[in-house]
Amino acid sequence: MRLQDFWSRLREQFGPMRAESVARDHVFSSLGGRSAVEAIDAGLPVRRVWLAICEEFDVPRRER
């Protein structure tokens, strides 16, 4: 997954304002206690970060 796809999906799923908050403010235990942005900056695969968000927020499988 490309970073651009990540942001597009995030905004589509949560709306533009909430997407930013989910990515920057929410801390995910499955990402080592990091936010999504911190995890990506640390080198975790973008797809892994997206799936962690999906799990945490119960995004339906067909939208993952």
The pLDDT value recorded for residue 57 is: 96
13-40 per-position pLDDT tens digit: 999 999 999 999 999 999 999 999 999 9
pLDDT in the model for residue 48: 98
Q: What is the dihedral of CA 24, 27, 29, 34, to 10 degrees?
A: 50
Instruction: Look at residue 1 in the predicted model and tell me its pLDDT.
Output: 92
pLDDT at position 9 is: 97
What mean pLDDT value characterizes the chain? 96
9 three-state secondary structure: helix
